[in-house]
Amino acid sequence: MIRDFLLEAYPWAKSLHVISVIAWMAGIFYLPRLFVYHVEQVETGSKTDEMFQVMERRLLKAIMNPAMIGTWIFGLMLVFTPGIIDWSAVWPWTKAAAVIAMTWFHHWLGLRRKDFVGGTNSRTGRTYRMMNEVPTLLMIVIVISVIARPF
């Protein structure tokens, strides 16, 4: 029964997975950039500080969190669809490792947002700029793993 459901739902799960990934990646690229501007241009406790905190909270809570959850739910539906993944290949494992790393990065960003809320951010704009490259590198690993399957 579940097998039949997954097979019938496959095109929908795949479509919703891609949509969720796009939304998640948009947020995961933008939030560290907001942190760069926040730390370099905004005085703690100012009206602008409050505005940045609202923007960061809404991005994380209203876009990134639901998109990450959707990515995982629809991705797991794809993973459990019979006959879709050859588990003896390396590519599903490299993709899985990169997705887990992306999820860690998402949670790291959530912790950094709490630092701004608490007025305890100690990281520089340079740190956030460097960390902004992490999702790009992970995305490259994920896309090449799934599309080119060189492993």
State yes or no: pLDDT of 8 exceeds 90.
yes
- Number of structural domains (the chain) is 1
How far is the C-alpha of 97 from the C-alpha of 100, rounded, in Å?
5
Reduced to 3 states (helix: H, G, I; strand: E, B; else coil), residue 123 is: coil
List, for residues 33-75, the tens digit of each pLDDT value. Answer: 999 999 999 999 999 999 999 999 999 999 999 999 999 999 9
List, for residues 79-104, the tens digit of each pLDDT value. Answer: 999 999 999 999 999 999 999 999 99
Count the neighbouring beta carbons within 10 Å of the beta carbon of residue 119.
9
Token pair of 101, please?
């790393």
**Under the phi-then-psi rule, with left for phi > 0, alpha for psi from -120 to 50, and beta for the rest, what region is 57?**
alpha
Q: How far is CA 85 from the centre of its chain?
A: 22
pTM of the model: 0.93
Token pair of 48, please?
């602008």
Token pair of 51, please?
């505005």
3-class SS letters over 79-107 = HHCCCCCCCCCCHHHHHHHHHHHHHHHHH
Cα–Cα distances in angstroms (integers) from residue 19 to residues 14, 15, 37, 75, in the given order = 9, 6, 28, 11
Q: What is the pLDDT of residue 46?
A: 95
**C-beta of residue 91 within 8 angstroms of C-beta of residue 142:** no
Q: Which domain holds residue 38?
A: 2-148
